[in-house]
Chain A
């Protein structure tokens, strides 16, 4: 019995000695697990035309100018599309870090648009683990062209379009992010009975970061068959994001003319096959309207 106690004592003393000698003081505090939210999956809240999984940060105003020139197959006569241009001017505002609202006006079919986007899951590691980010996007648009047949009875509701979109994406690594965007576009008025009011589509978009300030983006939107007129094609866009401090410049090639969902998803008529490609750019400039409080 005595021996056992003696060894226990010796062991304890030795143990406390080695404990006291511990080199790494901070390890005494133990490991605090914190939740590490993934950020900067995309440079801005648009991939090219599609909304990216990013939101505008709370209290930040994002002023956006989008530009799409004519198509490259216009040839030298049209200076490869530079003679024509469609423009959209928009403002996005982050009500919080997860809720963004925005308005815009595009020259394509003289359309006003608005959206609300709610990021309800954030990719994270650590204490709270979440493999992907998910957001819900709701948009509406009003087309304000003069009525094609003013003599017949026209309704304002015929000008309205609505889009519901789920955005699910993941930043797989520092340089690679991918997202899927299942979408439904509702059109109040359609030209023929052969078309559908509700159009279902699946968008996919990815980013490869080439350097700290340069990224390559691509997006493709697949329209499910037999919903739209025969001359409508799927939208495909490829472009670069260039970040310079407060600006993000997005330069791209796309076969879509419109920059809002109802347009580039359900009204794209040009095709990459015959050079129906627009050169275009988005410029995004952010302004911090409400600064976060530091004490």
Chain B
């Protein structure tokens, strides 16, 4: 009898651990847009990883640079080879948190706007990033959208003068991820 109580507690401890309110995705969409009068550049990555810990508000993102798809193959090659140097810096990561994470109630469907802050590491350079994100709860899943701008020069990405009019100095980044419970 006593033995079975131990087993029960043991199991319970695992249950609470598992339902530690962590949410994840491996198919988050990250896209960016560089818009100049001469050239519109768009690239998309559909396999970014994200984990959100609702107990603490901690949020982490990782994107493989080589996973970005461009319309033009040559752009994709130059992006990897010359600008982001994906062999040297294969991943871009974001480590931060949702400041007002207590606003998120997964038990109720609905939309809310939250503040996200943290460190974005790109091309080996880490910079602070603050942005608003829209969080929508749908049937126990968290759909998160965010749009922010980053300055190319901030991340030590050098653009040769020959193409400086084709590449925007400020690049718009869009993130769209649907997170499920991490089991």
Contacts and interface: CB of A to CB of B under 8 A. Distances in A.
Contact of A26 (B14, B42, B60, B71): B60
Contacts of B73: 57-60, 94, 97, 288, 292
A60 B76 CA distance: 13
B11 to A, nearest CB: 10
A60 B167 CA distance: 21
Contacts of B2: 2
A295 B45 CA distance: 11
Interface stretch (A5-13, A102-110, A113-121, A197-205): A5-13
Contact of B51 (A6, A13, A25, A288): A25
A19 B3 contact: no
Contact of B24 (A29, A60, A174, A212): A29
A245 B162 CA distance: 8
Interface string A213-227: 100000000000000
Contacts of A32: 26, 49
Given A19-B17, A292-B73, A9 B44 contact: no
A25 B42 contact: no
Contact of A213 (B10, B69, B160, B166): B160
A244 B162 contact: yes
Nearest to B91: A26
Interface residues of A, number: 40
A209 to B, nearest CB: 10
A20 B20 contact: yes
Given A19-B17, A20-B17, A288-B73, A26 B81 contact: no
Interface string A43-62: 00000000000000111100
Given A288-B72, A292-B70, A294-B44, A39 B80 contact: yes
Nearest to A62: B74
Contacts of A25: 22, 51-53, 58-60
Contact of B81 (A24, A28, A36, A40): A40
Interface in B64-91: 64, 66-67, 69-74, 77-78, 80-82, 87
A174 B90 CA distance: 14
A154 to B, nearest CB: 44
Given A12-B13, A29-B49, A295 B72 contact: no
Contact of B74 (A19, A57, A97, A174): A57
A9 B51 contact: no
A162 B49 CA distance: 50
A150 interface: no
A97 B78 CA distance: 16
Contact of A9 (B10, B22, B166): B10
A213 to B, nearest CB: 7
Contacts of B44: 294-295
Contacts of B162: 244-245
Contacts of B10: 8-9, 12
B153 interface: no
Interface of B: 2-3, 6, 9-10, 13-14, 16-17, 20, 22, 24, 26, 31, 42-44, 49, 51-53, 58-60, 62, 64, 66-67, 69-74, 77-78, 80-82, 87, 93, 160, 162-163, 166, 182
Per CB-CB distance, the 8 closest pairs between chain A and chain B, nearest first, are A57-B73, A25-B51, A291-B71, A16-B17, A25-B60, A5-B6, A288-B72, A40-B81
